Chains A and B, each alone.
Chain A
Amino acid sequence: MDYSAIFSYMYTEIALAGVIVAVLLYDLIAGERGRRYFQTFVCLLMLFFVAGTVYPYHGGTADVFGGMYQYTPVAGIVKSILAIGTLIVFLQSDAWLSREDTRFKRGEFYVLTLSTLLGMDFMVSAGHFMMFFIGMELASVPMACLVAFDKYKGNSAEAGAKFILSALFASGLMLYGISFFYGTAGTLYFEDMAAKIDGSPLQILSLVFFFTGLGFKLSLVPFHLWTADTYQGAPTSVTSYLSVVSKAAAAFILTVIFVKVFPSVSDYWQLMLYIVIVLSITVANVFAIRQKNLKRFMAFSSISQAGYIMLGVICGTPYGMTSLIFYLLVYMAANLAAFGVISTVEQHSGGKTGIEDYNGLYRTNPKLAVIMTLALFSLAGIPPFAGFFSKFFIFAAAFEQGFHVLVFIALINTVISLYYYLLIVKAMFITPNENPVPAFRSDRGTRLSLLLCLAGIIALGIVSSVFDGIGLYSFGM
């Protein structure tokens, strides 16, 4: 076997494994003083990692391990996006990790998060259902530990339990579906399976099982019931990671599998997605209006955003895929900015995450309030912020494929979503408050991360080269 192919095509995973080992070693070697610089160390490592892997070194696609692992330029771009998201989460998490009760386990947080990232990288590049499944499990088991990271807090432990139970259930369903695939097709390689998919009832059934499993990861309605509790209970940095990075990876691999393996039964999965999109967007929007806690609110907002993301999946065209990746990137910038603000306010106000606690935030912390507003505007799709462009592109992609009514429903829902995003803006700017969150100065990492997100929110849309670049590297468009 030619090992050089492994190093030449799996460079992202190998480098990431190297980062994990380095972090583990640092945790062992560094003393009490050294650990104070843990965040700086990890962020620098991640920066080198991102800088080294962001450029797609190979133009074409290639198989490693006989097709178990597939190198594609578009997967490389997604991995870079995931890594950047992780870096931003790390930048935001120091205030929380320096707390008395978590200080001693900083290393664990970084290692666990990076392991999930590694799992997602494998998942994104999978060329075989087993590889995909292993990657997904590698991503979800450490995630459960992360959700329950504040284990002395009741709701964090509860969130962890809920997460692991529903994740296991989803995995079980998915594995059941995959076994049917094997039974009917005789292979689990993506490339070989496409020819064997003939739309027999058993295969359609297993397609549903498979989709249900990923639907849990993506928290689409009706598989979303774990989302709100988990998002609320998990530490805020973990929530933001969960809402952005893990969702992006799952959305991408779902498209890849649908397009590569199931083109012959596209009628079935398009219908399935159609229903799920309408449900996700509408139900989540209606529930988001009633929320009193900002983290729960963001949970429902991210369910509805996942519905919009699925609009890119349902097209199954290269243009749709480009729009999807662009949407993921823009969503990441906006959502991480919002969670960055939530996290820093929570840490500096003794754990305030209620929407009412944000009343009058603009008077005391104008910069944070403005960043939050811009992030929410971007999520709602208001120009000139990036969210407007990503929404427009994804709508155009779906419209082009003839989903006129679906786009219309999605558009009506953007107006509803604007309503509840504006409720937060109203709380921060308009509603008077006797004792708002006092003025404070965030730590350096958070400020840097918010600045990065802000740059993304403003520039990603106006500068067209990002979108063009994704299309160019992925599909030569």
Chain B
Amino acid sequence: MNILSLFPAIPLLMMLGLWLSRNKKQIHAVMVTGASLLLGLSIALVFIYLGMRADGHDSGMVLTDSLMWYKPLNIEYSVGVDGISVAMILLSAIIVFTGTFASWKMTDGVKEFFMWFCLLSVGVFGFFISVDLFTMFMFYEVALIPMYLLIGVWGTGKKEYSAMKLTLMLMGGSALILIGILGIYFGSGAVTMNINEIAALDNIPLSMQRVWFPIVFVGFGVLGALFPFHTWSPDGHASAPTAVSMLHAGVLMKLGGYGCFRIAMYLLPDAAQELSWIFIILTTISVVYGAFSACVQTDLKYINAYSSVSHCGLVLFAILMMNATASTGAVLQMLSHGLMTALFFALIGMIYGRTHTRDIRELSGLMKIMPFLSVCYVIAGLANLGLPGLSGFVAEMTIFNGAFMLDDTFHRVVTVIACTSIVITAVYILRLVGKILYGTCTNPEHLKLTDATWDEKLAVVVLIAAIAGLGLFPLWMSDMISDSVLPVISHILN
């Protein structure tokens, strides 16, 4: 069996293990074993991939394998990875690992929670390893539907409303994707659903591309929080339990960007060039609007959710620039945003678990009470506003660098507008840090609170290590990514 198939297989086995386990101890054992296995495997995958590239393997997909599934429609279970998907798999494994520890103290319906959580990861990993349109779409939907119950049952606040809104909006997006996939498959006249082979054929007529490109791009864009289809995101993230927010903002939203890049733009390149300006405008609005909205929120999770809208908007913004530098930056931003937003949500979950409020007006002076969590919160904030040495700087620097390479007026203007988000981000992050961490604690109840426990520390430290690692040694990751971005970009431009 191909090593890649292990990624969806392990969460499936974890589900089986969870189903059989009888108490919380066994549940934790299954989760920790599985999540560590996934993390180890994904790190191994990075080295295997780099090794194979060093040996002179093709810069397209490696570790490919395919199995005929439904012959009449040429549906195959075909897998393969390039540098982009390897990076995404690594990100997913880190988030699943830390998410497990972040929900360590959960008490209600632990078994069911983790079972749905594992199903979600089956979908995520399956999506990133697939190179077949149908299989990819199937895993995409597998990743969406557990969200309904995860938010609806274990969430907080107006959870039923948020869960329904999120599910329906994302499913609406996936309906668009489905019709786009059919359009691509029948339009290309291909006898395969393999993405690379359809791209190599490259014979979808422009008139059809003009129809399918916006449909597919919006379909994936819904998950990538594309303005004006982002409204599920703040409500959904705010209501979700900690680990689900982490996985959802950290990984699931990246499915949108990845799909836009890999399917919408790669398979419909001509229309992508022609129509990109519409979506560039929309993503610029996402970037700036998200940042401004974050400034006026009072709920910690809402602030972070709008910040995610802004940062994920930047991902879509960068891939629409259609040059190698900006697109490499987009993938780096996916990684960086995934890690730091997961860190944020984890910390917010830990703070909320102690103070039982997420309203910044009721929080203050936490630095003295829980110094560990507070310092980590500052680090997450600094990564978010793009401090050099942390991952956010690397990603945004690359994106804006790439965007400035396009020297026509339109691209210059939108890039400058998008750049302002860096400043706005600094405004809301610093305001937040100043308000809730420093100063004196006004609520006497909060004085009794304790700092992080070992499981929380583990989750947080792993994430910070990854953020700092990416920030301090960006080259090995960005080389791996740009190596795989190049062929895609050159295909789109030709």
Contacts and interface: CB of A to CB of B under 8 A. Distances in A.
Q: Is the interface of A mostly helix, strand, loop or mixed?
A: helix
B178 A430 contact: no
A322 interface: yes
Interface string B65-84: 00001111100000000000
Interface stretch (B38-46, B146-154, B319-327): B146-154
Given A388-B138, A430-B153, A422 B164 contact: yes
Contact of A396 (B69, B71, B73, B175): B73
Contacts of A429: 149, 152-153
A400 interface: yes
B149 A418 contact: no
A393 interface: yes
A392 B134 contact: yes
B142 A418 contact: no
A418 B167 contact: yes
Given A384-B142, A426-B160, A411 B73 contact: no
A471 B72 contact: yes
A389 B160 CA distance: 28
A467 B149 contact: no
A430 B175 contact: no
B186 interface: yes
B204 to A, nearest CB: 14
B378 interface: no
Nearest to B173: A415
Q: Interface size bucket, B side?
A: 20 to 34
Contact of B179 (A377, A383, A411, A418): A411
Given A395-B182, A422-B148, A383 B141 contact: yes
A353 B142 CA distance: 30
A51 interface: no
A243 interface: no
B468 interface: no
Nearest to A389: B70
A377 to B, nearest CB: 7
B18 to A, nearest CB: 14
Contact of A411 (B69, B134, B149, B175): B175
B164 A407 contact: no
B281 interface: no
A383 B138 CA distance: 6
A392 B167 CA distance: 19
Contacts of B186: 399-400
Contacts of A425: 148-149
Nearest to A393: B73
A418 B168 contact: yes
Nearest to B123: A383
A422 B182 contact: no
Interface string B167-179: 1100110011011
A383 B148 CA distance: 14
B241 to A, nearest CB: 13
Chain A interface residue bracket vs B = 20 to 34
Contacts of B176: 411
B78 to A, nearest CB: 14
Contacts of B369: none
A415 B222 CA distance: 14
Contacts of A400: 186
B360 interface: no
B178 A464 contact: no
A429 B72 CA distance: 39
A288 B341 CA distance: 39
A426 B152 contact: yes
A286 to B, nearest CB: 15
Nearest to B68: A464
A477 B72 contact: yes
Contacts of B73: 393, 396
Interface string B406-424: 0000000000000000000
B179 A430 contact: no
A467 B179 CA distance: 22
B376 interface: no
B178 A411 contact: yes
Contacts of A25: none
A319 B72 contact: yes
Interface string B160-195: 100010011001100110110011011000000000
Interface in A364-402: 377, 382-384, 388-389, 392-393, 395-396, 399-400
A408 B212 CA distance: 12
B172 A415 contact: yes
Nearest to A412: B175
Contact of A383 (B142, B164, B172): B142
20 contacts: A384-B138, A384-B142, A388-B141, A393-B70, A396-B185, A400-B186, A404-B179, A411-B175, A411-B179, A414-B175, A415-B168, A415-B171, A415-B172, A419-B164, A419-B168, A426-B160, A429-B149, A430-B153, A468-B70, A471-B72
Q: Which 4 A-B pairs have the closest CB atoms?
A: A411-B175, A399-B182, A383-B138, A430-B152
